[in-house]
Structure 1
Amino acid sequence: MPTGVALRDVRRQLFDAADRILLRDGPSGLTSRAVTTEAGCAKGVLHRHFEDFDAFLADYVLDRVERLAVEAATLESRAGAGTVAGNLTTALIAVFESVAVAIVALITFRDGLRARLRRTWPAGVPVLTEAAEMIAAYLAAERERGRIPAGAEVDTLAAILIGTGHLLFADRTGARPTEQDVHRMVTSVLNSAGA
């Protein structure tokens, strides 16, 4: 591997490489060597920028959580427009067709990563927790507009939608759920809650 090649945004290149590996090979394929090879840089590059591989992984996970802020703003801007089920379907597909499902598996797979994340993320699973908060905020905005019942428990609905969405997308080897599959699930959850 050539050394001395200038990397413009090392973190972004390494994190994007980690995305590709996780989606292609799963958590067992994600090693420091695999990341640097995928990013096209020397292995030492990763260790110059991060204390160790678990530090890299923790920063990677938190970076992917921060990316959900854009998705949250987009979803919240849809409040009052389109259909609630349609907006939630679009948001859930965006979350779960990203690297989110693979990150959940990664966190489960690596004890050192979980321990490191607990220092800054004391409860829940990063990515899923943030996604549930995004859905709950959107549902609260729709409740204020009268598009879901005033008594709807938005935090509970959000947790159900995220958990069920995760189950739909969790099988990396089978057929991906279609938009209709996700919409049917969202509609069922909303209907069962009287929303």
Structure 2
Amino acid sequence: MKLRLRRWISKYPETLPASFIAVCFVYFFTRHSGIGISPDSVMYASAAGHLRSHFSFTDFNGMPLVDFPAGYPAWLALFSLIFPGSLLSMAPWLNGALFIGILFLTHLIWKEQNKKTGIFSVLFLLLLACSPCLIEVYTMLWSETVFLFLILLFLVILKYYFETPSPGNLGLLVLVAAIAFVT
């Protein structure tokens, strides 16, 4: 694990400052009162709790979850099974990891388009990490956090599929698109 982390850091050092700043923003905005909650967040959190405990997609009223896609509550339920504890206390860590994933995938796309990386890619990633729109999204319990990550992952896998077409790569592409569709 340490070897993989060192290899990743040495291969993509431009993402480190922006990732650190992004995680700091998520931490500082959520440390006092926790992750941001909206009416959608209540539906997602209650559906994830019911999915984890009763294996049913129901909201806080016990009614079936029909107004919202089921992918994000399933993602939250899976996350809460892997990391036991309060979902609302663990959500900032999940969003911080997804924010780092956004920056990493953006950097991959940037490197493919601009062969010369350096100070401009660092500045671009820092600009993304300090974006008020992204900071707002990643400090809330919203499905957009996973959706943005999956869209960028889809673009990276799509480029990889066009370079080396195979049934396995197509299957991976379809899987990511399907998960993004229900999120």
Q: Say whether the fold is shared (TM-score over 0.5).
A: no
| TM-score, normalised by the number of residues in structure 1 | 0.25
Pair member with larger Rg: 1
Higher relative contact order (CA closer than 8 Å, sequence separation 6+): 2
